[in-house]
A and B are shown apart, each in its own frame.
Chain A
Amino acid sequence: MSKLQRIQPPIFPVKKVVIPDAVAQRLINDVPVFMIESGTEEIMRVEFTFSAGLVNECMPLLSSTTNMMLTEGSMRYTSEELNGLIDFYGAFVNISPEKDRAGIVVFFLNKHIDKVLELSREILFSPVFPEPELNALMNKRLRWYLVNREKVQNLAMDNFFESVFGKNHPYGHKVSEEDFKNLTPSILADYHSKYYQPENMAIIVSGKISSNTIDLLNKYFGDIKSLKTNLNHPVRILQAEKEKKIHIEKAGTVQNSVRIGSATINKRHPDYPGLKVLDAVLGGYFGSRLMKNIREDKGFTYGISSSLTSLDLAGYKVISTEVGQKNCGRAIEEIYKEIRLLQTDPVNSSELELVRNYMSGELLRMFDGPFALADSFRSVWDFGLDNSYYYRLADKIKTIGPDEIMHLAKTYYNTEDLYEITAGMI
């Protein structure tokens, strides 16, 4: 046998991602249901999502607390009974308070579908928000908040949101200790009656979908009637704060947390797929420029990354890292240096090829398995988009050139527009 040549085997282009389409149906009361068939095991994931997110709240913590209290007692069950039943059927009920939406995601073995859907109805549409449970939750949340406020990464991130979206908008509002004392059961009940309504609701089903699913969904959710509350949505303007550079001093720390970024376009904008590629080059994967320079070359940090996120009213991009205090200034300089390089020097073809291939692989991972599929569906459906967004992204990954990346870097990463937040000790 000849000696093995340890050279890279032939490289095959990453296959085009194939995304199973969600089958759209409606319950008898018109609630949309999306079914994504996938997977090999007898399990399902059902997500109930409402336009009930943080963006609607008129008081801090109202949206998340209403969401967290859903499993704390209903017309038929105390909180202990409700949670006991969920556990008994081996189900997982994840509450999901988000910035734009809120709801629950339930995971279960198919054999328990009937009971789990019946419980889901009880959780979503018959909560009673008992006062003792509410007080206990708020006390607990206050303790968590006090612990979180000790962590430089939370201090920096909260301040980042306040800076880029503004103090007076729910996206940017910073919670304070006082906010934990102001909520009452009737305030939660009022919020629930306005936002947890069938006209605000969608159901996303994925997994090895049991054949009686739509019948059971109709049985438990098809008769829910809208209260037809006339909502006066509060009008609040996103308005970034003036101060671009903020430091939060925190004694006794050994690392500084750094956040650099700003508000930007969201998924609805035609430039968004290109900006995703730019973000990957800068700090979106392990081989990115920020990682290579600041971790792998200089060893200043355990991790550094950039990310680009879409919210309903805007997007934001942010570079995040925790760095040792003696290297903080140099790390920040290097971050700006990397941004400027993207604006002045075209990305060379081997690096671009690397990013194209890495991102094509990521795209496959985003659609691997029933749970990933449901998440990826929601992250376009939320914006009124469909899978064609992903095909556009796949196309952009394959075709974007160095000039377009440079142009995007100039347009969206003007360093004078970026906010620089640090927390720790300087």
Chain B
Amino acid sequence: MINYNRFTLENGLKVLVHEDRSSPLVAMNILYNVGSRDEDPELTGLAHLFEHLMFGGSVNIPDYDLPLQMVGGDNNAFTNSDITNYYLTIPSDNIETGFWLESDRMLELDFSQKNLDTQRNVVIEEFNQRYLNQPYGDAILKIRPLAYKVHPYRWPTIGMDISHIEKVSLDQIKKFFFSHYAPNNAVLSITGNINIQKAEELTRKWFGPIEKRNVQNRNIPQEPEQRESRTLTIEKDVPSNAIYKVWHIGPRMSEDFYTLDLITDLLAGGETGRLHTRLVREKKLFSEINAYITSDIDPGLIIMQGKLMKDVDIQFAEESVNEVIESLKNENSLKAEIEKVKNKFESTTVFSNTNILNKAINLSYYELLGDPDQVNREVADFRKVTQEMVTATALKYFIPSNCSTLYYKSTRKD
């Protein structure tokens, strides 16, 4: 159970505070309500590039990391399709330095050409390292535009084309900052060894004077319903064939969310998920197989991905995947398996909430979704899923016309 206090500053900044005296540290998490879905299709990858630029100094502080490290702090950040999220942990005596740093880079960045040029190169190397220099690394770059034709989820967070990052100008950077980075477009969570009064006082002192900004209205084209199955085959010099299948699902807040989450756990949760048991252990068709939902705020995807064992026919492997998925639609003996994945979900949730940083990240995210109390209700909501809901939901989403498939074939003849 995470107890928290919640308030909103006059400038619109939403704040959550959770006290946990068992840690000598305080965690601070700032979520900005901007992700790659907010980008112009002609200029993608900007939200993620920003995550890098945010460490290059702000209007009153030439270097972000140095003073933080000077007080024993540590930090990092991540970007996805929906949000850009920054966090730090710091020995509790020095928490005010965290407020000073985070409020200054919300106030205004030090927009320098040198920083932009360097981070541009760093991001290009990140792109090369993650997507080009790994076998199968580009699969996700291919599957997104297959599934999405209109919605910005069709490009990955790193960007649709690295040339966008290569050409972005300092003026475009400034414009992006002032239309997305604002107190009224952010959620701050503070957890750990700090009392509520002090957290509130420091928040008002450092974030209070930042003025509300005109945040760019979100005008995202919604993805039309997919009406026929889509396939794409690519051939590459990789050790073995792989297969990727995705199905459209509803938004994060849809009523099917926990049922779908439970379904992917039934399929691929741990050693005893159905796909693993039937296709890796019993039939030995795959060396590894996984399935998960993307948990995106706008309508997302179920993603299934598997790497085939040597000499396994890719069509046969796909039919076998389909058989396992079909079994969810017509079996009446799922009760024990459902109980198993519910128990696992409960312990995963309890474990994740032992850490002050996880708690801060979760509080910010659920506040963005509309109700931070959901963090405490998740296990109960997951437990409400019944066998009937699993069957009905599987029948609703696992249909061929809702599916896109990528065949990633090996060109090797060994």
Closest-by-CB residue of B relative to A367 is B24
Q: Are B70 and A6 in contact (CB under 8 A)?
A: no
Choose from A152, A286, A322, A370 the contact partner of B65 (Cβ within 8 Å). Answer: A286
Within 8 A of A (CB), among B18-66: 20, 22-25, 60-61, 65-66
Q: Mark A27-65, 1 if CB is under 8 A from B, else 0.
A: 000000000001111110000000000000000000000
A401 CB within 8 Å of chain B = no
B354 CB within 8 Å of chain A = yes
Q: A322-B129, A354-B66, A358-B69 are in contact. Are A140 and B118 (CB under 8 A)?
A: no
- The size of the chain B interface, using a CB distance under 8 A, is 80
Q: Are B122 and A9 in contact (CB under 8 A)?
A: no
A11 to B90, CA, bound (A): 12
Closest-by-CB residue of B relative to A253 is B133
Q: Are A15 and B24 in contact (CB under 8 A)?
A: yes
Choose from A40, A90, A324 the contact partner of B354 (Cβ within 8 Å). Answer: A40
Q: Are B343 and A4 in contact (CB under 8 A)?
A: no
A96 to B216, CA, bound (A): 49
A39 to B354, CA, bound (A): 8
A382 CB within 8 Å of chain B = no
List the count of A-B residue pairs having beta carbons below 8 Å apart.
211
Within 8 A of A (CB), among B72-126: 72-74, 89-91, 93-94, 96-97, 99-100, 103-104, 107, 117-126
A42 to B1, CA, bound (A): 11
Q: A41-B350, A80-B277, A358-B72 are in contact. Are A365 and B25 (CB under 8 A)?
A: yes
Closest-by-CB residue of A relative to B284 is A136
Q: Are B339 and A365 in contact (CB under 8 A)?
A: no
Enumerate chain A residues within 8 angstroms of B118, measured Cβ to Cβ: 296-299
Interface size range of chain A in the complex: 35 or more
Within 8 A of B (CB), among A248-302: 252-255, 285-287, 295-302
Q: Are A88 and B60 in contact (CB under 8 A)?
A: no
Q: Binding site of A, secondary structure by majority: helix, strand, loop or mixed?
A: mixed
- Stretch binding the partner chain, chosen from A141-149, A186-194, A235-243: A141-149
Q: List 20 A-B contacts (CB under 8 A).
A: A8-B61, A8-B97, A9-B100, A43-B350, A87-B344, A90-B348, A140-B309, A143-B310, A144-B288, A147-B238, A151-B134, A254-B132, A295-B122, A296-B118, A297-B118, A301-B122, A302-B129, A361-B69, A361-B72, A369-B354
**Which residues of A approach B to under 8 Å, CB–CB?**
3-4, 6-12, 14-15, 18, 38-43, 71, 79-80, 83-84, 86-92, 107-109, 133, 136, 139-140, 143-144, 146-147, 149-152, 252-255, 285-287, 295-302, 322-324, 353-354, 357-358, 360-362, 364-365, 368-371
**Contacts beyond the supplied A6-B60, A90-B346, A298-B118: 17 A-B pairs with Cβ under 8 Å:** A8-B61, A11-B71, A11-B97, A41-B353, A87-B271, A89-B343, A107-B347, A144-B287, A146-B239, A322-B129, A324-B125, A324-B128, A361-B69, A361-B90, A362-B74, A369-B22, A369-B354
